[in-house]
Amino acid sequence: YRKTISHQYPLPPGPKKLPIVGNLFDVPKSGRVWLEYAELSRRYKSDIIHLGALGNSIVILNSARIANELLDKRSSIYSSRPFTVMLGELTGWGSVFAFRPNDDLWKAQRKIMNQAMPSGDSQRFHPMLIRVTQDLLRDLPHFDILESLHTWAAVLIMDATYGFNTEEAKAYLPTARVATESVVIAGTPGAFYVDQFPILKYLPEWFPGAGFKRKAREWSDMRSKMTEEPFRLTKERVAMGTARPSLASIALEQMDHDQDLVKQEEVIKASSVAAYGGGSDTTVTALQSFIWAMLMNPDVQTKAQHELDQVLGVGNLPSFNEEASLPYITAVVRETLRFNPVAPIAVPHQLTEDDIYEGFFLPKGSVIVPNVWSMLYSVEDYPQPHLFNPSRFLDANGNINPKIKDPAASTFGFGRRICPGRSIALASFWIAVASILSCYSIEPEPGEHGEPNKPQTDPGLSLLNQVPPFKCRFVPRSKELELFLSLNSS
């Protein structure tokens, strides 16, 4: 029957396949793979593209309409994850639900995160987000931008996940940075040959060209440390009754003592480390893109600050209560997520049954790559997509226009795999954007010849669309805020 269907319906269009290797050489190996995938759509005049390499079937979805049709509406068969040797096996992330197939463990781990971070409701985290963001305001003028942002993200996630205080969270930063680096690099399709030729995993570490095995071991050690240590500490605190409420502590307190406790702990542990793996570099990337966008678009910055000054009065910091009165700030948040999508190919899904879509045969086991970048650069949805223009999200009265698609509909992924941290991510991003703009003017750092330092351009292969490192100045906008932040520094 399968043979009949696959003969009756063609695969989606794509580059011609060579014998045996198929499209191996068409699978992009460069940094910005989403641009090459978008180009395939233009070349083959189709928003759904097929690549086949060494027996693997890859389907690229280059429009929001098709992504919604397949990943949202048919999510029961489009919600697994491809297994990867480098990330899943050698680095060990395969035990964590973000990279698991859609099995019972995935379900159990995801349920814990959904309970701790309910979608559409980030209110419980607001006081913590305000406090942590004020620390960020203190750090920005004095430390490297990326260092400040990583500290901010680590502190807020370790607080939400384990109930750690700032100093405790900071102590884990070096381990966490290496552990999450492994996710964004090893998780990128095509980054390591061992994923295409699994037999390479048997090479000994010392073998020429087997450096990937040494790297995988280092990453695995850090992942394991990051999984075990903060969990152990939280468990001790729960036992002593001193734990602050967090994802891990609440789940530990709710364990069913008639069931296998060790198994339940393993589930909580993995769900907790998924929060760090999924939430740190993504949030950092979003905020780094925002700072860069403000540097490049001073007119937008001025307009946003004008709105803040009108609503809050100069010298005051925003709270979540003012969110509805600050539509231009919300528009800046949306435009940043659109203009520089954090995860431009999201995280690939896997199809678990044969499927037919618009007359094309999509084979079971296909890796499904949603090209979020293409969706957010659609000329129909966002005219002149290459312009950074927050006003595109506003109506004639300056309010958020519900007719313009919110980039959050694709930037956090799709269907049953949609990012479970999206509420806390959006809340933390919004408050950081509003607070930074209230407090500082973001200005170019004069370079050696009086020129602003421009970022370099090659980002390297990564699941994330990271802006290369750049420098700028955070110039305080009011004496009152400077004083407030220095008086409240810990």
- Is residue 414 near ligand HEM by the rule CB under 6 A? yes
CB 75 within 8 A of CB 45: no
- Give the one residue of 61, 149, 425, 434 binding ligand HEM; rule: CB under 6 A: 425
Could you count the other beta carbons within 10 Å of the beta carbon of residue 361? Answer: 20
- Give the one residue of 82, 163, 327, 413 binding ligand HEM; rule: CB under 6 A: 413
- C-alpha 347/C-alpha 463 separation (Å) is 8
Using the rule CB under 6 A, give the single segment among 2-10, 216-224, 376-384, 409-417 that binds ligand HEM: 409-417
Shortest distance, position 345 Cβ to ligand HEM, whole Å? 9
CB nearer ligand HEM, residue 26 or residue 91: 91
Shortest distance, position 292 Cβ to ligand HEM, whole Å? 15
Shortest distance, position 29 Cβ to ligand HEM, whole Å? 22
- Is residue 347 near ligand HEM by the rule CB under 6 A? yes
Question: What track of x and - describes contact with ligand HEM for positions 230 through 269 (by CB under 6 A)?
Answer: ----------------------------------------
CB nearer ligand HEM, residue 58 or residue 157: 157
Show the tokens assigned to 328.
């231009």
- Give the one residue of 346, 375, 433, 442 binding ligand HEM; rule: CB under 6 A: 346
Q: Which of residues 148-187 bind ligand HEM (CB under 6 A)?
A: 157
- Is residue 275 near ligand HEM by the rule CB under 6 A? yes
CB nearer ligand HEM, residue 424 or residue 481: 424
Shortest distance, position 425 Cβ to ligand HEM, whole Å? 4
> Cα-flanking dihedrals φ and ψ of residue 400, to 5°?
-60, 130
Using the rule CB under 6 A, give the single segment among 55-63, 250-258, 344-352, 389-397 that binds ligand HEM: 344-352
- Give the one residue of 105, 286, 332, 376 binding ligand HEM; rule: CB under 6 A: 286
Shortest distance, position 237 Cβ to ligand HEM, whole Å? 20
Task: Print burial letters for 262-301: b (CB count within 10 Å at least 16), e (below 16).
Answer: eebbbbbbbbbbbbbbbbbbbbbbbbbbbbbbbbbbeebb
- C-alpha 169/C-alpha 157 separation (Å) is 9
Question: What track of x and - describes contact with ligand HEM for positions 83 through 122 (by CB under 6 A)?
Answer: --------------xx-----------x--x---------
* Residue of 447, 383, 486 whose CA lies nearest to 137: 486
Shortest distance, position 135 Cβ to ligand HEM, whole Å? 18
Task: Print burial letters for 139-148: b (CB count within 10 Å at least 16), e (below 16).
Answer: bbeeeebeeb
CB 63 within 8 A of CB 380: no
Using the rule CB under 6 A, give the single segment among 141-149, 410-418, 440-448, 478-486 that binds ligand HEM: 410-418
- C-alpha 234/C-alpha 231 separation (Å) is 5
Question: What track of x and - describes contact with ligand HEM for positions 204 through 233 (by CB under 6 A)?
Answer: ------------------------------
- C-alpha 67/C-alpha 415 separation (Å) is 9
* Residue of 342, 334, 328, 339 whose CA lies nearest to 299: 328
CB 311 within 8 A of CB 475: no
* Residue of 284, 286, 386, 371 whose CA lies nearest to 332: 286
- Among all chains, which residue has been given the structure tokens 């005049």? 45
List the beta bridge partners of residue 355: 362
CB 280 within 8 A of CB 154: yes
- Is residue 424 near ligand HEM by the rule CB under 6 A? yes
Shortest distance, position 344 Cβ to ligand HEM, whole Å? 9
CA angle 304, 412, 151 (to 5 degrees): 65
List the beta bridge partners of residue 361: 356
CB 116 within 8 A of CB 247: yes
- Residue 483: CB partners within 8 Å, gap ≥ 6? none
Binding residue positions for heme: 419
Show the tokens assigned to 271.
């769900």
- Give the one residue of 92, 278, 318, 407 binding ligand HEM; rule: CB under 6 A: 278
- Give the one residue of 41, 249, 283, 340 binding ligand HEM; rule: CB under 6 A: 283
Shortest distance, position 356 Cβ to ligand HEM, whole Å? 22
- Is residue 411 near ligand HEM by the rule CB under 6 A? yes
Shortest distance, position 156 Cβ to ligand HEM, whole Å? 8
- Is residue 421 near ligand HEM by the rule CB under 6 A? yes
CB nearer ligand HEM, residue 64 or residue 346: 346
- Give the one residue of 343, 427, 433, 467 binding ligand HEM; rule: CB under 6 A: 343
Helix (H) / strand (E) element for 441: namely strand 440-444
Shortest distance, position 227 Cβ to ligand HEM, whole Å? 14
Count how many Cα atoms sit within 13 Å of the Cα of residue 41 in the half-sphere of its side chain.
20
- Among all chains, which residue has been given the structure tokens 């709270």? 319
CB nearer ligand HEM, residue 222 or residue 284: 284
Count how many Cα atoms sit within 13 Å of the Cα of residue 254 in the half-sphere of its side chain.
13
Using the rule CB under 6 A, give the single segment among 40-48, 211-219, 322-330, 414-422 that binds ligand HEM: 414-422
- C-alpha 238/C-alpha 245 separation (Å) is 9
Q: Name the residues that contact ligand HEM, by CB under 6 A.
A: 97-98, 110, 113, 157, 274-275, 278-279, 282-283, 286, 342-343, 346-347, 349, 411-414, 417-421, 424-425, 429
